[in-house]
Amino acid sequence: MAAKKSGLGKGLDSLIANKVNISSAVENEKKPELDKDVVFIKTTKIEPNREQPRKYFDEDALLELSESIKQYGILQPLLVQDKKDYYEIITGERRWRAAKMAGLKEIPAIIKNLNNQEMVEISLIENIQRENLNPIEEARAFKKLLEEFHLKQDEVAERVSKSRTAVTNSMRLLKLDERVQQMLMDDMISSGHARALLAMEDQEKQYNLAQQVFDEKLSVRETERLLKKLQNQKETPPEKKEDDKMRIFYEDMEQKLKSIIGTKVSIHTKDKKKGKIEIEYYSTDELERIFDLFQSIHHAKKI
């Protein structure tokens, strides 16, 4: 069935003339009256689009959706393309995955004939509208539209209903070290942290800083301050070499204490012989754990 031309930037509603509510969860029931463009297709005849931007699916969220499908059915049809031997998903992969988990034998869909660029654009638009993409998936999708389909940033921004600046800032995240990108995808750091870390061009230092942000639970503002401090550091004059030795000594001691206690430890010196040790904790459970650790060391000494 030939697809009608429509403006992709206007969203997915322009691709489906009439929204329909469909439930096919109960096998052997008479199928409800459908919009003329909606058909039922066997779930085994449908396959995901390998080029779709979204790569990660939350298993718990899929389970919740499958339970909802068991009770109410699928309330919005998939958008698919006929590939002769199978139907390729344009939008609705999450619904298809959940439908399989729910045990549905067939699923409502609308068949469209689209070129590769239109498929990428529509899939990207749907995921952005539903806020399904993590920042790196979104950035990679924008890059794909620019490089493979030779669109300009203004054109990409118009199609996805975002500002040109938003698209540019999104794609800048791809300059991060790949390990840092993975940390962003795994929610170990936020987009704000990631944008701040772009100021550190050395990839290894950038990754180490990202680890520090995660380990010490630094806020975005604290991360920015740390980066600024590192960037403003000047070459140490020769007369400060002795101070450097002591600083390295105390930093080494802090790391050793951190590895023993399992949390951030800071040493504050008053002079060469005196100072104080500051131990951080982030919950009452962690405080009790630290107390138990000290208590076990105290008992071990008595023995």
Residue 136 lies in a domain: no
* pLDDT (tens digit per residue) in 42-60: 999 998 877 665 566 667 7
Q: Which domain holds residue 209?
A: 191-234
Please compute the mean of the pLDDT values over residues 3-23 and round it to a whole number. Answer: 37
Measured distance CA(183)–CA(213) in Å, rounded: 11
Is residue 146 in some structural domain? no
pLDDT at 19: 35
Count how many domains the chain has. Answer: 3
Whether residue 224 is found in the same domain as residue 259 = no
Rounded to two decimals, the pTM is 0.48
Cα separation of 147 and 139, whole Å?
12
Given 29, 59, 88, 93, which residue is catalytic? 93
Q: Which amino acid is at 58?
A: D
With respect to residue 150, please indicate whether it lies within any of the assigned structural domains.
no
Say if 140 falls within a structural domain: no
Identify the domain boundary among 234, 266, 286: 234
210 domain residue, yes or no: yes
> Is residue 160 in some structural domain?
no
Q: Are residues 16 and 104 in the same domain?
A: yes
Nearest to 127 by CA among 3, 12, 4: 12
242 is catalytic: no
* 186: in domain: no
Residue 195 covered by a domain = yes
pLDDT digits (tens, 9 = 90+) for 162-183: 888 988 999 999 999 999 999 9
120 vs 54, 79, 154, 246, 288, CA distance in Å? 11, 13, 17, 57, 52
**What token pair was written down for 302?**
């008595």
